[in-house]
Structure 1
Amino acid sequence: MTKDDLGCHYHALVAAWTRMEVASRFEYSSTNLPYKYRPKQVSQWISQSRRGEPPGVEDPSQYAIEWQRWWDYLQPSWRKKDVDGRWMTSGNYGGGGKEWGNLYHWGVNGVLSIVASLYFWGRAVRLRPEFSAAWEAAVQDVVWILEGMALYYEMFKGKF
């Protein structure tokens, strides 16, 4: 997921994901993130044991819709949307950061799938920059969540 340089937003995502994994002491989860609404490219990548060429995204605008539906489903109950329908990233993490809902899955079965999904999408928008705004917004939102998960994992040592 670092073969292609997808720019500063993606570098921030990889850094936040790394921080979260370090904070969790590279904990492994035997359960997967929920597959409900998951984009088919992510399912394809998982079924190939996360190896080989990343699946392509032929229609970035359709992928954006599918990805957002999945992301919305994964959100903890305390997250709220603003008047424009975007997830709010201001203020504190709700629930003291103790409740991460469907996102609380670590290792290869967890948040890695979200990072990978953004990599697949980012490769497509790199070739079609007119679709980059939605991708950048998604990356920034995931960075905010991963930083929050890392912060609270560091504070509570994983014991909520």
Structure 2
Amino acid sequence: PPTCPPQAASWFVYTHEQMTQHHLGPHFNGLLAAWIRIEAASRFEHSSGAITKKMRPEQVNRWIQCGRGQRGNPDTSVPNPAQYKRQWWAWWNSLQPAWRGKDADGDWSVAGAYGKEWDGLLFWGQNGILSVVAALYFWGCAVQEDEECLRAWERAVNDVSWICEGLALFHESFKKKGF
């Protein structure tokens, strides 16, 4: 997994340790690398808003209610990966920016140029894209032994990775401008 930057805030260090506790493979490591870029470009600060919790998987809600694992040991297990997959996609679909299109198979396109408006995804820090990364981590921990479920999870990870790469570029462009 990608290493934690030495200048990271304590909340990030703790969360990075959680998200790298189980090795979930190169797809997830790519997502973690993009998430690190977003947070580093945002100076490990928090945005004033948050990614919507409407339709968010219950495991993420419990994790957040326990201080993202810092106040207790919330149950983040995924006993029914098929149900979790449906809930996760409903939440993820609701977060997509207006400019994002779908490919011929009906999946979100992971090619082409990124749009300029990020709508409900332009949140960083503890209440930002981390919630999506954590949701994928919990799901990934549950599907490593099931090839079909693993492929569905990797598809989701690749989709979020593409968005996070775009968000990282967006955040880094502001950092270069001195904001």
What is the TM-score of this pair, normalised by structure 2? 0.82
Percent of paired sites with the same residue: 54
In structure 1, the residue matched to 2:77 is: 56
8 Å contact from structure 2 (residues 38, 124) kept in 1: no
| Secondary structure class of the residue paired with 1:136 | helix
In structure 2, the residue matched to 1:5 is: 23
The structure 1 residue matched to 2:158, chosen from 127, 137, 140, is 140
C-alpha distance in structure 2 between counterparts of 1:79 and 1:30, whole Å: 24
Determine if the alignment matches structure 1 residue 103 to structure 2 residue 124.
no
Of structures 1 and 2, the one with the larger relative CO (CA 8 A, separation 6+) is: 1
In structure 2, the residue matched to 1:69 is: 90
C-alpha distance in structure 2 between counterparts of 1:158 and 1:64, whole Å: 37
**RMSD after superposition:** 1.7
C-alpha distance in structure 1 between counterparts of 2:123 and 2:21, whole Å: 25
CA 1:151 to 1:54, structure 2 compared with 1: closer, same or farther past 3 Å?
A: farther
How far the C-alpha of 1:129 sits from its partner, in A, is 2.9
The structure 1 residue matched to 2:102, chosen from 62, 72, 81, is 81
How far the C-alpha of 1:127 sits from its partner, in A, is 3.2
CA 1:47 to 1:148, structure 2 compared with 1: closer, same or farther past 3 Å?
A: same
How far the C-alpha of 1:54 sits from its partner, in A, is 5.5
Unaligned runs of 5+ in 2: 1-18
Determine if the alignment matches structure 1 residue 150 to structure 2 residue 168.
yes
C-alpha distance in structure 2 between counterparts of 1:93 and 1:30, whole Å: 23
In structure 1, the residue matched to 2:147 is: 129
The structure 2 residue matched to 1:18, chosen from 33, 36, 39, is 36
Unaligned runs of 5+ in 1: none
The one-letter code matched in structure 1 to 2:167 is M
C-alpha distance in structure 1 between counterparts of 2:89 and 2:68, whole Å: 22
In structure 2, the residue matched to 1:31 is: 49
How far the C-alpha of 1:85 sits from its partner, in A, is 1.5
The one-letter code matched in structure 1 to 2:65 is S
C-alpha distance in structure 1 between counterparts of 2:21 and 2:147, whole Å: 19
The structure 1 residue matched to 2:113, chosen from 92, 107, 115, is 92
The one-letter code matched in structure 1 to 2:82 is S
C-alpha distance in structure 2 between counterparts of 1:120 and 1:145, whole Å: 19
Flag as ranges the 4+ runs of structure 1 deviating above 2 A. Answer: 127-130, 156-160
8 Å contact from structure 1 (residues 9, 140) kept in 2: yes
The one-letter code matched in structure 2 to 1:139 is V
